[in-house]
Amino acid sequence: MNQTLSLTSTVKLNNNVEMPVFGLGTFESEQGKTTQNAVLWALEAGYRHIDTAAVYRNEQDVGAAIHTCGIPRKEIFVTTKLWNRDQQYDAALRAFDHSLEMMGLDYIDLFLIHWPAPGPYRREAWRALQHIYAQGRCRAIGVSNYTIRHLKEVLADSALVPAVNQFEMSPFLTRTALVDFCRAQGIQVESYSPLARGEKLNDPIVHSLATRYAKTPAQVLIRWALQKGFVVIPKSVHRERIIENANVFDFELTAQDIATLDGLNEDFHTIRPGFMQGEWD
């Protein structure tokens, strides 16, 4: 990855679908105009990748913004996710239909299992996702918050390799073993909470690098993720911050600075594994 990247650069998934490397996350974006405006501002700024989930309760607002933005649907990559309570075969099919209905879309670009529920349920969910994919109503399927053990289970049970594993990652949570495993299996790594939810923006090393590059700490953290080859989806509902987060394609961190940021790892989760009973069974 280098500075020839742009806001609309893509990576090719293992089924040859092109996925934009940069997008807008909508976790905890308030329903209604807050989310609608955030999506509209992002699309206006050149974003072409929007990430939502059923449990965020803002799919309808994401869909409304997509319908009113004036950009052809095929140019916008939309991700949503299957929530834990729907991780049974028939329930997963119904949940997918509901997500489509909420967004007013004919298809989803990427559908993910949001968290690994207890074994029998996540296996049934993956079987349902394969059926949806075979029907052509979803361009790619994958998982989120899966560990190596969960991924090995999918690979043992299914000939279809997940296209994406989305999980929390930042220089303070590098998860090297999981990243390496995904890459070895042809699974695209996607980083959520790349800014550690703002909790590490005052780190002195990040600040020093930001000063040297005449960038903000957030921009340095986002650029780190991009240069590591991750898809990245920083979240904001503020127009100026949405624009700022995207202004990361006119500089390049040196290999030494990447290594320095890698060295900040302290396994710092802002979304704690185990926050919902059973998902790590």
**Does 146 qualify as catalytic in the annotation?**
no
The single-letter code of the amino acid at 74 is K
Q: How far apart are CA 219 and CA 252, in angstroms?
A: 11
Catalytic residue among 56, 121, 146, 192: 56
Tokens of 210: 């930001």
Return the active site residues.
56
